[in-house]
Amino acid sequence: MFHFVGLIFKNLRRNLLRTILTALGTMALVFVVTMVWSVLDFINSQTAEKSNDFKVLVTEKNKAPSRLPRAYRSSLQEGAARGPDDVKPVDYMTWAFYGGTLDPTKMSRENFLFLIACEPEKAPTMLDDLDQLGPADMARLNAGVAKMKKQANAVIIGPEQLKTMNKKVGERFTLNGLIFKDLNLEFEIVDTFPEAAQRYGQTSLMNLDYLLQGIDEYESKNKKKLANADDPIAFIMLKVKNKSDYERLSAQIANSPLYTSPAVRCESASSAVSTFLEGWKDIFWGMKFILIPAIVITLALVIAVAISIGVRERRQEIAVLKVLGFRPGHIMFLVLGEALLIGILAGVLSSAGSYLLFNKVLGGIALPIAWFQRFFIPQGAILLGFLIGAGTALAGSLIPAWSARSVRVADVFSKVT
């Protein structure tokens, strides 16, 4: 066995340039597949219903974007429950949005900030993946949330957003309102999201009560209504135990007399994400069923061409090996081994390198899709690189390996003489 492996390495070193070029081509194509697969895998996870973390969005029924009056807030947080047999959510989070610019005379990306206004204490349990943080990171996040509860104008801003704004924790700034025009609010940065919460690098949180208080103070001071002030809530997110509770909760909210003007609707969070991403459907379909298969086929052809050239160059040597007692299966094993070694090593190096580069160095794949700003490569991508490298190498080398297996000694030496 070790003798065969030694021969495989020697054969690959015979034409080192071709081996290196084949490996680099394999790594480049596996890299592209890894990027595409990582994006699609994340999108699929966001649109898949979770049986143990079933989230429900309550939005305005007949308008987009959704805008709900603040009077709906308290009753919807209870799921419109009126009797002891009604379903109550196990958790909730109210969402409103406040955006503005640091400098109204210079409307640039660096000066713009978009904040999620919510109940700060709900962020660790209702925002995806934050409950997966380690003890130290969770303690830090909870400390930041406690500061937001104690100090109304405190904000937590993602590290990437802080860098864009050229701000640091502890600084104060005034935001000139754009979503609620003319509502200018002062904030203090009390913390940022932990590095482990990579997907929240550009996310910023503020206290919902501070926004509502600011609206009330503006209207009281200026004796006029503020645009969008009557319905400042975007939606309310509820968490239930399972799909059965979701269906009951949805029915009791839809049948409640409390929500007639405007009417509301309930949908699972995964369904809401799917609806929002409807415009991307054709692109995702093309990535999954055209781009990835095309890359895999191309990769198999690249390996097939490289191995075929090597087999043609070594027909005499293959004939000699057969004279020395190598059986056709041995010859086929050698050729397949060469292809598999290149494919597996290049595939694993490419996917593992991509994982380290984007997750540990670059902070994710910068590809804004809807509200998703960055995508991260899951650990499963390393296995994917192995499978793509091995699978395409095997598919691409089968015909050359069979050709090498079928070399006839008499035909080769008759041409030599």
Residue 409: band (very low, low, confident or very high) from pLDDT cuts 50, 70, 90: low
pLDDT of residue 417 exceeding 60, the answer is no
- Tell me how far apart the alpha carbons of residues 369 and 64 are, in angstroms, rounded to a whole number: 19
Whether the Cβ atoms of residue 56 and residue 238 lie closer than 8 Å to each other: yes
Q: Is 112 helix (H, G, I), strand (E, B) or coil?
A: strand
Mean pLDDT of 19-38: 90
How is residue 182 annotated by DSSP?
T
In this predicted model, which residue has the larger pLDDT, 284 or 5? 284
pLDDT of residue 14: 75
Mean pLDDT of the chain: 86
Percentage above 90 pLDDT, the chain: 41
Query: Would the pTM count as exceeding 0.95?
Result: no
pLDDT of residue 324: 75
In this predicted model, which residue has the larger pLDDT, 324 or 67? 67
- pLDDT, one tens digit per residue, over 159-186 is 989 998 999 999 999 999 988 888 999 9
H or E element in which residue 108 lies: none
pLDDT of residue 172: 95
Strands 54-60 and 235-240: antiparallel
- DSSP string computed for 209-277: HHHHHHHHHHHHHHTSPPTT-SS-B-EEEEEESSHHHHHHHHHHHHT-TT-BTTBEEEEEHHHHHHHHG
